[in-house]
Amino acid sequence: MEIFADILKGIFRKGQERTPVQRAILGALVIFLGFLITFSPLLIAFLSTPPGGNMFSEGGGGGGAAIWLMIFTLPVGGLTALTGVVMHFGGVISALKAKATDDQDESERNIVVANKAFALTVLGPVALVTTFLVLNLGGLFSSQGGDDLFRFLRVVIILQLLLGGYAIYLATKAGDTKLTLIITVIVLLTLFGYLCLGSAFLPYVFFEMLFGFI
């Protein structure tokens, strides 16, 4: 738990260089902020539309006029998210490449391995939110149906299983039981999020697309 606490403490600390895993976490938060800025007009339109109304309608009680704000929020939010992507993946890659300066120091080796585990873990929620947006936008603008979207979803889920499982393995290797528990919970919650996405978007074909052969 001490390793986990040390990771979180330095994320927003000023005047001190962040570790790679802290940059990865901060990058993920910046990505989420970018998404929020970009799509905030849709949220405003939804909240300002009365029950039974059309959120895309600019008249008749709909909140569609707010969507015009995306002229401003799209470039700002997109640039913010892109900045977060650079920070996030730069931190993840640096964390995975990191090595202990003293191979004989078991404590330092465990910290390096724990940082790798948490950096991989943070990839999961970022990919989940991105997949949610892809499914929504794909459903709005794609004329190909749900097959392509769920092939994409299945690939992402398989990657999450592999990376999440490896992150849990690394956390176990680091010897921190509480950190292993935290990472396991995050991985399982992320997988549950994918289950919810699949069953919500195409409930009748989700399990066939996920486990069947195409």
Q: How many CA atoms lie within 13 A of 193 on its CB side?
A: 18
Whether residue 95 contacts residue 119, with contact meaning beta carbons closer than 8 Å, is answered with yes
pLDDT (tens digit per residue) in 110-154:
889 999 999 999 999 999 999 888 877 765 555 555 667 777 778
Predicted TM-score of the model (pTM):
0.82
Over the stretch 16-29, which tens digit does the pLDDT of each residue have? 678 888 899 999 99
- Nearest to residue 86, comparing CAs of 145, 43, 24? 24
